[in-house]
Amino acid sequence: MTAAAITPELLDAFVERAGEANIAKLEKQLRSANYCARPIRLRGRIETCDAHGKKRVWSTAGEPDGVLRKACGNRREAVCPSCAERYRYDALHLIGAGLRGGKGVPETVAGHPLVFLTLTAPTFGFVHTCPGEGRRCRPRRDAETCPHGVRLSCGKVHAEDDPCLGEPICLECFDHDGALLWNNLLGELWRRTTIYLPRTMAHLTRRTQKRLKRLVRFSYVKVAEYQRRGLIHLHVVIRLDRAMPKYRAHELHPPAREFDLELLEQTIRGTVETVSAPMSDELGGGRVTWGPELDIQRVGESFDAQRCARYLAKYATKATEQAGGVLHRVTEREVDALPVRPHVREYLRRAFVLDGHASDRRLGKTAHAFGYRGHCLTKSRRYSTTFKALREAREAFVHEELLARTKDATQLAIAAGGDRFVFMDFVGQGHITALDDWLAEKGREKRREDRLAAVEALADHHSLRREQACTTPQ
């Protein structure tokens, strides 16, 4: 994404803005908000009282437009690229810590049995796909014709950006109800999968579950990704740890040699084939299961740990925009007016119809998410660190930097802590003028360029050190 070009209207806004506020002060506030695309605007004051009883007051009255801008914190890249990038880096550290150590996790976890697997949904109807470069979508000589008169075949070679990808070959034949319910029950299906994993391993090792849980513990992190057909598949990292007593549950140690990668893979395959989740009678009964496609890769052998962490973190900032969906909740009245493709519109319509049969599943409130009720990224308790810990560490670092650089007594008192009273009111969200938006976009572009330059410089540094290590005589 590149910053918008400077237009005559933008120049006029710049001149007008320069007359009423200090542009440098505005740019500083935008930088403190991480160049957020939709900053939250607050108005009010902060009162502090230091150890000597001296009271200081900081007010937004002296700030540009009389407001304080704070980052929105939205994780979705399509909503706010700046906040999504921060969330992505936090997710990268969280996932990577469980793969190679760091952030309070010992580096020995890299030697634990680790696998990366992808769990997919069943087939609910034929859709247009891009199976590979130069390969046709769905070529069939003897393809049957559906009851609606559509031949269930496609001999075209679709490009990766073809808008028809994910669209059903026959819209009326696609089971939108089944797809919505599968997404909706995905959380329960995964919960049961985590329950069945130790059961399957206990059966394979000819132990009781009670005995097995005293020897080994499953840790995981998973990310949900929307496919273009509107269904979700899960990317999961599963790690085996030695089971520890409660008073040492925070410790991470490798399991016994018996619990190796081969056993872990057998356990996962056996569990995925047998586990299922029940569907209520109001929705037709039956059970939901995983799809037939299961991909398992060994982390550290066929899949590098750093690459695995980046792959998962990338999808943590995605949502239904990959399937052409909307990014906000919708009502039943808005469905027909939304600028979405027919496949997505049918999802939304059927979600509200099903909501009338089983309101406890919240299909109406989650229609924009195609029925999915879970979070994009979840993990087991002992996998690694937490988002809260990462944010607290970043906040502490910012406070230390502020105390080291600023000379303002009020800011020092606020950063140093003590008695603090905050009186802030919500004013609005988003940028006030087009110039504010342009400055924020320009700042995001500059920050992105600086980060890429830093990454390249670090890679060059490591490459130079490796060359020196190879040429140094032993």
Instruction: Collapse the DSSP code of 256 into the 3-class scheme (helix H, G, I; strand E, B; otherwise coil) and give the result.
Output: coil
Tell me the pTM.
0.88
Give the model confidence (pLDDT) of 115-157 as tens digits. Answer: 999 999 999 999 998 887 778 998 888 888 999 999 989 988 9
Q: How far apart are CA 198 and CA 201, in angstroms?
A: 5
Alpha carbon distance 152, 145 (integer Å): 6
Candidates 298, 175, 168; CA nearest to 238 is 298
- Helix or strand (DSSP H, E) at 49: strand 40-49
Q: What is the pLDDT along the chain (474 residues), one digit of tens a residue?
A: 445 566 776 776 666 666 555 777 888 889 989 999 999 999 999 888 766 667 778 889 888 888 999 999 999 999 999 999 999 999 999 999 999 999 999 999 999 999 999 999 999 999 998 887 778 998 888 888 999 999 989 988 988 888 888 899 999 999 999 999 999 999 999 999 999 999 999 999 999 999 999 999 999 999 999 999 999 999 999 999 999 999 998 999 999 999 999 999 999 999 999 999 999 888 888 899 999 999 999 998 878 899 999 999 999 999 898 888 998 999 999 999 999 999 999 999 999 999 988 878 889 999 999 999 989 999 999 999 999 999 999 988 887 877 777 777 666 666 665 677 889 999 999 998 888 888 899 899 998 888 888 888 887 777 777 777 777 665
> What does 209-233 look like in DSSP terms, one character per residue?
HHHHHTTEEEEEEEEEEE-TTS-EE
Point out which residues pair with 425 in neighbouring strands.
Answer: 43
Per DSSP, 140 falls in state -
Q: 469 phi and psi, to 5 degrees?
A: -65, -35
Closest CA to 73 of 244, 295, 317, 292: 317
Neighbours of 6 (CB within 10 A): 11
Q: DSSP for 344-380? A: HHHHHHHHHHHHTT-GGG-TTTTGGGTT--S-SEEE-
Q: What is the pLDDT of residue 16?
A: 67
How many C-alpha atoms does 122 have within 13 Å on its Cβ side? 18
What 3-state class would DSSP assign to 339?
A: coil
Query: Chain centroid to CA 123: how far?
Result: 25
d(CA 451, CA 170): 46
